Structure 1
Amino acid sequence: MLQLDSSPALLVIDMQNGFCHRQGSFAKLGIPTDPTAIVPRINELRSAFRAANLPVFFLRTTYSADYSDRRARDRADRLEELQGLMRGTWDADMLDELTPRPDENVVDKTRRSGFLRTTLENTLKERGINHVVVTGVGTDVCVETTARDAFQLDFGVTTVSDASGTVDESDHLAALHALRNFGGTAWTAEVMEALQELSQKKSS
């Protein structure tokens, strides 16, 4: 049975138009991610975290207009030609179904890990967060990298199997298999049950 540490937070990774929308830049590059199945799960978890007065963090890949903050070795593709994930554009925005609310945290990143060159670690620690529940895309790229880094930084980590996704199902499953050694995985229903148990402990 899943148990969450005393002060968890929800991480929602890269659920942006560029990665997930059928008119986004990644779809134009031929690498679309269909979020249909995971958006309701993420919103279910988001509502539960908010009801429990626990924080929600949206992680967002965004680049400057000249892409000077993008990894140089990645710059041979057509993303820049499409002005993909450029800061301040529709492509970089979250999907409409997951628009962050004013009291929800948005952390911009330029690398696959949500912790590298961002404010995330310090913000989590300042708020006393000791466990992260990880959702979003892609399971085998930014989700896995962020979960691994969170584990190395001594956070409890749970990656949500049915609230994360990637282009290929076999890659999704392989990433989840690897993450058993980096905090482990759980289903949305298991996280909801653990949140309820945590709330009961705090109120008793």
Structure 2
Amino acid sequence: MADTAYPGGKTALLCIDPYNDFLAEGGKMWPALSAVATSVGLHANLYTVRAAARKAGMPIFILPHHRHHATDFQGWAQLTPSQAAAHQYQLFAEGTWGGEWYDGFGPETGDIVIKEHWGASSFANTDLDVQLRQHGITHVIFIGLIANTCIEASARYAAELGYHVTLVRDATAAMSTEAMHAAHEINGPTFAHALLTTTEVVGKLATEDSA
């Protein structure tokens, strides 16, 4: 949206699941994500948005998925298909390389790491909402993975809670072009206040920073 503005002190960058298993060659999910990620220039755009946020003095929140253990979900009655698949492959397994932050995308001094989410939403059963509100945040910009699962679920929840929500089209990826299309052309416009490219977001942050 042309009139989207990001007020200083009230805007945060939310980076979801920046793990090796998603972003690194050799990561368990990289083969499924690589075609779309490469087509949009994912890594370069993630670096660019994060750098712009830091330059603007914007707080960065890291929203990590649960790091799996072999005994997770024992006794659970209602696993989602995604949870069952993640458990089967032990995505982001605790103590493994795949469960470590991708180089350059992990938390730095001053960044806020939210409690791990067990499902798709970074708000469900975590401290994300209270952390955002305690820091005076009203506007949130989502980057990371995956566009049609954790990004969408978290961003929808943010909108329901009254936050101004921005999706960055090319600072995320999905396992198919169809999933990306659904996330940004069909579902995103029903709840997000702005769907922007990395270039557009950086331009707006630079404008706010110089205001």
Tell me the TM-score normalised to structure 2 length: 0.83
Equivalences for 1:174-185 in 2 at 5 Å? 174-177=182-185, 178-182=187-191, 183-185=193-195
Report the 3-state secondary structure (helix = DSSP H, G, I; strand = E; otherwise coil) of the residue aligned with 1:98: coil
CA RMSD in angstroms, aligned pairs only: 2.2
Corresponding position of 1:93:
100
- 2:140 corresponding residue in structure 1: 132
CA distance in 1: counterparts of 2:6 and 2:175, whole angstroms: 31
Q: What is the match of residue 38 of structure 1?
A: 42
Question: SS in structure 1 opposite 2:144?
Answer: strand
Correspondence for 1:50: 54
Larger CA deviation: 178-187 vs 158-167: 178-187
Maintained 8 Å contact 2:6/2:204: no
Query: How far apart are the structure 1 equivalents of 2:180 and 2:88?
Result: 28
Deviation at 1:2, TM superposition (A): 4.6
- Aligned residue number for residue 14 of structure 2: 11
Report if aligned partners of 1:22, 1:32 keep a CA contact under 8 Å in 2: no
Secondary structure in structure 2 of the residue aligned to 1:163: strand
Instruction: Please state how far the C-alpha of 1:93 moved relative to its aligned partner.
Output: 1.8
Number of residues paired by the alignment?
197
Classify 1:189/1:151 alpha carbon distance in 2 versus 1 (closer, same or farther; 3 Å): same
CA distance in structure 2 between the aligned counterparts of 1:102 and 1:32, rounded to whole angstroms: 32
Superposed displacement of residue 76, structure 1: 4.5
| % identical equivalent positions | 26
Partner Cα separation in structure 2 for residue 147 and residue 18 of structure 1: 22
One-letter amino acid of the counterpart of residue 191, structure 1: V
TM-score scaled by length of structure 1: 0.86
Q: How far did residue 40 of structure 1 move? A: 1.1
Q: Which residue of 1 aligns with 2:207?
A: 197
Structure 1 unmatched runs, 5+: none
